Amino acid sequence: MKSGTIYDLGAPGRRGVSLPPLSEPEQEILSYIPEGVRRREPPWLPEVSQPELVRHYLRLARMNYGVDTGFYPLGSCTMKYNPKVNEELARLPGFSGLHPLLSEEEVQGALEVLWELSECLKGIAGMPGITLQPAAGAHGELTGMLLFKRYFQERGELERRVKILLPDSAHGTNPASAAMVGFEVVSIPSNDRGTVDVAALEAALGEDVAGIMLTVPNTLGIFEEEILEITELVHRAGGLCYFDGANLNAYLGRARPGDMGADVFHFNLHKTFSTPHGGGGPGAGPGTVSEPLVPYLPVPQVVKEGDKFRLDYDRPKSIGRVHPHFGNFLVLVRALAYILTLGDEGLREVSLGAVLAANYLKERLKKTYRLPYDRLCKHEFVLSGDSFGEVRTLDIAKRLIDYGFHPPTIYFPLIVKEALMIEPTETEPKEILDAFAVAMEEIAREARESPELLKEAPHTAPVRRLDEARAARKPLLRLPRP
Amino acid sequence: MSGYIPHTPPDIRAMLQEVGLRDPEALFGDIPEEVRRRYRPLGLPPRDEDWVRRHLTELSEKSTGRKLIPFLGGGIYDHFVPAVVDYVLSQPELYTAYTPYQAEVSQGTLTWMFEYQTMVCELTGMEVANASMYDGATALAEAVLMAHRTTGGKQVLVPQYLNPRVREVLATYAWGAGLELVDLPFDEEGRLVLSEVPEGTCALIVQQPNFFGIIEDLSGLKERLGEAFLIVYVNPIALGVLEPPGSFGADVVVGEGQVLGNPPSFGGPLLGIFATREKHLRRMPGRISGQTVDAEGKIGYVMALQTREQHIRRERATSNICTNSALCALAATVYLAALGPEGLKRVVLLSLARAHRLAEEISALPGFDLALTGPFFNEFPVRCPDPGGAVKKLREAGIAVLPPEEVEKAGLAGAFLVAVTERRSEEELSRFVSALKGGTS
């Protein structure tokens, strides 16, 4: 049976690109490699012509759904439109072709990009220090946890401050990030309004707590109204406050984590700042920090002296590098282009559009689906698909595909049964939001009248519902050699 | 108006009405007033597209280094990237999608991930591979964490010749996890010297070819390690002609995949390659695509073994990684598919031949010599009485190499490092040699 991969195509001897000829006999060149180390058998790679290759990957592209295809309300992932000029700019040869180990005098333009973006992000966060190195949000979290560790090490408190408090409405990556640095994770429950239970937090605080990791607004899309009380309590107990910035789209240009008591705040440039998600990455997760943590930031730091830019490595208390170079530079270029295009006014329009769209959809959909936390939301909200008997959230999600939409995030956050986490973003016109709402209403009707339609969905996708259990039971993770 | 947000005033009014609000600012009423009051704008006006394009184009042209001929490597290499790679990467359904959580609308991504995993297994000689990490450095750090979790050991044997940037990242992760890095020296050939494997060792790292370009001999290492992991950090393009580490019993093979179809990009985004043995599969970090069937028995792909991952296992996950380097992995997939086994070999042989030609010509110059005697791949350290002066002469001739201060970080003093890919022409090679001649006369 054909695998559907590029290995189905081609014939021995075909190649997809022209290359220069060898100027010496092959055996002569191969003799530079000691015999015992020389490859005995060539790797099994496709042998295809360029037209075959292009058609194959275009076929794969057509089996995919991206933001450019249609509405992609994947909660917490901020699947907003990716501006095309930013793609063009990231491909400028003076950026994409630049080697990172050139001397600082030779990369002044690139350093200026880093510096300009740093200034913008520090301003947006309202925090004095920054590193652009983290390659993704979770990498930013890890960097933040390393900064916590260094801070307490310097204060001689590392031995006793072993716990990180984590609200049960925090992002999925947070607990794993804390664990990688050896912190013990303590879960803090939410109250019936969907926010941190401040009494429970107070009870958990003590001399053994290094800090808290907050997602603001949380994964229910709800803003922590008592954020100032929360951060003050943690600070008073000698702890630090980490803010997961994945949900910054909710208050961009209107509020700053630095003004809420954040000690570390990470950005997700691939979410808030419109850089493409790439089918899973690359993203970028720069982190801003409060004054006490500035000495511990990764090296190097970009500094401006007159109109020159310099790399500062002389930072003895630094945690060191978390990236071999300067972070995902081409992602940073795109984010800078986006911020410059929007300006202050545009940043505020983003959060207005995102929050308005989410509340609008929420109000429309709560008539048909259970809304566990019925209150003002920020950029996203969570419904439950638990009112349809045998039809589950998974079925609703798969049926949405037949209506031409990408499903929302499902079964997360864990605190809502049969969760459907919906984030429309600011880049969708009202007509699309309306069409999505109509589809959801139609699906709710189908769920009651003809549940098999949902159970067997999707019907129109390139494949029918896939058997995930089989892939776990008998993992086949590469194509076997013929 | 940026052109990215479609809401007109009537749209906004209609949506607000449904929400039951009149003032849009009321949407932010749950943010403490004190916080909102403290907000300070950046002082940036909105800009039109043409302004932004000009501004960034100017910045891109300001880096004078872009005009230098890169005989510069140190982990990032200037290999030829066929046009078809960026053509595929620019397909909107591929680059504007995210992690394939919904398999039925993500068969494109899941299929190429499966192709990529197959190719990585083939190159490395390993049994399973994930669908990418951020970069080679963090892939190595995660491999070490995996070795620690598997064996319980806390000591990591690290050759001095490991790429210093990679080593710095590893050191940060190791400190975070409470692991100890133990330095291993190299001999005059530039190869690893392993005198003993101390008790409590969780892994030995070998770089192939190493930071100086020297080709390591991996035979017999795993036998000396026992349960401890043999982790090989590779330049994957070299595996076109080098025997894969899998043949030597490696437990994990990681590496920097930038060389496979990705431009230098001022050092990011990069591509972390990660492959291991089937027996370690459930401890492997990162996303994996697995083959399955749909309800009609047709072959399809899904994300496999998600129970290892952070969104399900939380603090007991194998890693915190979520967003990875997918699009760079797609570049590698298309690159390898376009080249095929013969094309890959050609690229490697061209690099090898040109590197050795240049090395010979440099060694023939009075006062110049190779700093290490071992067999090398496409990079080599050059020693001379005034390496700083030589580097300066080269710069004046429009040529960039890795200067002695960077080479010294890996424990080799008084040498500069020269990398030669298949892109370096005859004319550029001659220019290199003449520049040095000018420097010695």
Instruction: Check CB contact of A195 with chain B, cutoff 8 Å.
Output: no
pLDDT for the residue B441: 38
| Shared-domain flag, residues A447 and A463 | yes
CB-CB under 8 Å, A19 with B350: yes
pLDDT for the residue B319: 87
Instruction: Check CB contact of B373 with chain A, cutoff 8 Å.
Output: no
Task: Give A 292-351 residues with CB within 8 A of chain B.
Answer: 298, 319-331, 333, 336-337, 339-347, 349-351
| Shared-domain flag, residues B20 and B110 | no
| Shared-domain flag, residues B393 and B255 | no
Q: What is the mean pLDDT of each run of 10 residues along chain B (441 residues)?
A: 91 97 97 98 98 98 97 98 98 97 97 98 98 98 97 98 98 97 97 96 98 97 97 98 98 98 98 97 95 96 84 78 95 98 98 98 97 98 97 97 98 98 97 85 38
| Shared-domain flag, residues B142 and B101 | yes
pLDDT for the residue B1: 63
Nearest-5° angle of CA A442, CA A218, CA A117? 110
CATH of the domain at B377: 3.90.1150.10
Digit-coded pLDDT (tens) for A278-303: 999 999 999 999 999 999 999 999 99
pLDDT tens digits for chain A (482 residues)? Answer: 799 999 999 999 999 999 999 999 999 999 999 999 999 999 999 999 999 999 999 999 999 999 999 999 999 999 999 999 999 999 999 999 999 999 999 999 999 999 999 999 999 999 999 999 999 999 999 999 999 999 999 999 999 999 999 998 888 889 999 999 999 999 999 999 999 999 999 999 999 999 999 999 999 999 999 999 999 999 999 999 999 999 999 999 999 999 999 999 999 999 999 999 999 999 999 999 999 999 999 999 999 999 999 999 999 999 999 999 999 999 999 999 999 999 999 999 999 999 999 999 999 999 999 999 999 999 999 999 999 999 999 999 999 999 999 999 999 999 999 999 999 999 999 999 999 999 999 999 999 999 999 999 999 999 999 999 988 888 999 999 98
Strand A129-131's sheet: what is its strand order?
A129-131, A287-289, A264-267, A240-245, A209-215, A163-167, A184-188
CATH of the domain at A263: 3.40.640.10
CATH of the domain at A361: 3.90.1150.10
**Is the interface score ipTM higher than 0.90?**
yes
Query: Which residues of A are less than 8 Å from B105 in CB distance?
Result: 63-65, 401, 406-407, 458, 461
Query: Which residues of A are less than 8 Å from B168 in CB distance?
Result: 320-321, 324
| Full residue range of the structural domain in which residue B403 is found | 65-80+340-440
| Shared-domain flag, residues B34 and B141 | no
CB-CB under 8 Å, B317 with A179: yes
Structural domain contains residue B4: no
CB-CB under 8 Å, A276 with B40: no
pLDDT for the residue B440: 45
pLDDT for the residue A405: 98
| Shared-domain flag, residues A38 and A111 | no
Choose the final residue of a domain: A296, A325, A341. Answer: A341
Query: Which residues of A are less than 8 Å from B18 in CB distance?
Result: 360, 363-364
Instruction: Check CB contact of A24 with chain B, cutoff 8 Å.
Output: yes
Digit-coded pLDDT (tens) for A238-259: 999 999 999 999 999 999 999 9
| Shared-domain flag, residues B19 and B91 | no
Task: Give B 162-191 residues with CB within 8 A of chain A.
Answer: 163, 165-166, 168-169, 171-173, 175-178
pLDDT for the residue B2: 79
Per DSSP, which regions of B235-309 are E strands?
A: 252-256, 272-276, 289-293, 299-303
Choose the final residue of a domain: B276, B307, B334. Answer: B334
Choose the final residue of a domain: A296, A322, A341. Answer: A341
Digit-coded pLDDT (tens) for B194-223: 999 999 999 999 999 999 999 999 999 999
Structural domain contains residue A70: no
- Percent helix, strand, coil in chain B (nearest 5)? 45, 15, 35
The number of folded domains in chain B is 3
Structural domain contains residue B351: yes
Q: What is the C-alpha separation between B353 and B358, in angstroms, rounded?
A: 9
Could you tell me which of B114, B117, B173 has the C-alpha nearest to residue B140?
B173
| Shared-domain flag, residues A383 and A461 | yes
| Full residue range of the structural domain in which residue A12 is found | 6-58
